[in-house]
């Protein structure tokens, strides 16, 4: 059975759990959680793959990569793929221009018309 070799990289189960909760990217957190669950004996790679909808090979690759190259191998790095056809330059920014604001009435409401 394939298991993470935490002692090789001076890691503990707590280190894997911490990575699964606090890593910057969701995919990195997913990888740390998989290794934590396998290393703790809660599950194995095949069961975890079935439970999470991943392939066995993907989960086992994460374990092998971590055993060979250390925990740095778990960090998600975008490696390619197509960018979205339409990208917004800022979050919540509309692709349509805003309408100009109506002119403001500069008269004080209490004195208007006097």
CB–CB of 19/62 below 8 Å?
A: no
Give whole-number Cα distances, 34 to 18, 55, 70, 89, 92, in Å.
12, 12, 15, 34, 33
Q: Which two tokens stand for residue 89?
A: 């330059």
pLDDT tens for 63-88 read 999 999 999 999 999 888 777 777 66
* Residue 97: per-residue pLDDT: 66
* Residue corresponding to tokens 């805003």: 98
Q: Where are the domains of the chain?
A: 6-74
* Residue 1: per-residue pLDDT: 75
Give pLDDT < 70 ranges for the chain. Answer: 87-98, 105-114
* Residue 101: per-residue pLDDT: 72
CB–CB of 45/60 below 8 Å?
A: yes
* Residue 104: per-residue pLDDT: 73
73 vs 47: CA distance, rounded Å? 22
13 vs 59: CA distance, rounded Å? 17
């Amino acid at each position: 059975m394939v298991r993470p070799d935490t002692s090789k990289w001076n890691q503990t189960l707590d280190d894997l759990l911490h990575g699964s909760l606090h890593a910057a990217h969701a995919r990195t957190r997913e990888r740390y959680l998989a290794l934590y669950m396998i290393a703790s004996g809660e599950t194995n790679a095949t069961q975890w793959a079935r439970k999470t909808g991943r392939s066995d090979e993907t989960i086992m690759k994460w374990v092998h990569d971590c055993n060979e190259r250390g925990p740095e191998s778990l960090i998600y790095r975008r490696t390619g793929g197509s960018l979205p056809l339409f990208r917004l330059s800022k979050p919540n920014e509309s692709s349509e221009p805003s309408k100009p604001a109506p002119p403001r009435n500069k008269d004080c409401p209490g004195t208007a018309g006097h």
